[in-house]
Amino acid sequence: MDEKLLILINQRWTSPVLDKFMAAFSSFDAWVPIFVVLIVILLIKGDFRMRAFLLTAGIVIAINDGVVAHALKRIVDRPRPHQVLDDVRQIDLAKARPRLLALFKPVRIKSSHASIEDVEGRSFPSAHTVNCFSVALVAVCFFGVRGWWGFLVAALVAYSRIYTGSHWPSDVATSIFVGLGSTFLLLALAERIWQMTGRRWLPAVHAAHPSLLAV
């Protein structure tokens, strides 16, 4: 079932427009300059809740990506689709410096050739999916329904990881729950820490914001 769904998404339900669109959503490195500028602006112009959101989201990503996802990749050690199947479409943005310019160039597409020598990365979990759904959940918890669109972006990124041949569908689906579950626990811990330390160290700020979370 996993392989059949992968073939449908990666080889059947495709088009040149979707190739470019999904490659862009799947390539975080191309968007780094925009993310950095946006974060700096929000840190300067944003209020306490926005800054607390950015700090919390950064910590959540660092733990979920660097600890949770990294540990699971080593433990599960599941090969990516293109490492075990022939003719998986591997779709990526073109090479460019700076990487952002690749968004304006034709995408690179190649067909895989299964090889036991190909050990670049592992398929479970999808760190892209874990991170995006983690940030989306933090946004909703900090800003309520105004942050709902984060889940739309996260869903597109998750789908793009299957479309580009980087992950199995089951890995992506499970990664959603890994990201949400871990983030729920981290948000509960962050709220507890704020309740314990905010009143003592930042009494005025804590009085104005007795809870980090909007929901």
State residue 116 phi and psi, 5-degree precision.
-70, -15
Q: Is 152 part of any domain?
A: yes
Q: Token pair for residue 42?
A: 């929000």
Provide the mean pLDDT of the chain.
Answer: 90
Q: Is 213 part of any domain?
A: no
Structurally, the chain folds into a number of domains equal to 1
Domain extent for 57: 2-208
Q: Is 10 part of any domain?
A: yes
Query: Which of helix, strand or coil describes residue 122?
Result: coil
What mean pLDDT do residues 195-204 have? 86
What residue type is assigned to position 134 of the chain?
A: S
Cβ(160)–Cβ(22) under 8 Å? yes
Cβ(48)–Cβ(209) under 8 Å? yes
Query: Which of helix, strand or coil describes residue 215?
Result: coil
Cβ(15)–Cβ(168) under 8 Å? no
Q: Is 215 part of any domain?
A: no
Give the pLDDT band (50/70/90) at residue 158.
very high
- pTM for this prediction: 0.91
Could you tell me which of 104, 83, 103 has the C-alpha nearest to residue 165? 83
* 124/72 Cα distance (integer angstroms): 7
Q: Is 203 part of any domain?
A: yes
Q: Is 107 part of any domain?
A: yes
Query: Could you read off the pLDDT of 50-105 as tens digits, one per residue?
Result: 999 999 999 999 999 999 999 999 999 899 998 888 888 999 998 888 888 888 88
Q: Is 214 part of any domain?
A: no
What residue type is assigned to position 109 of the chain?
A: I
* 78/76 Cα distance (integer angstroms): 6
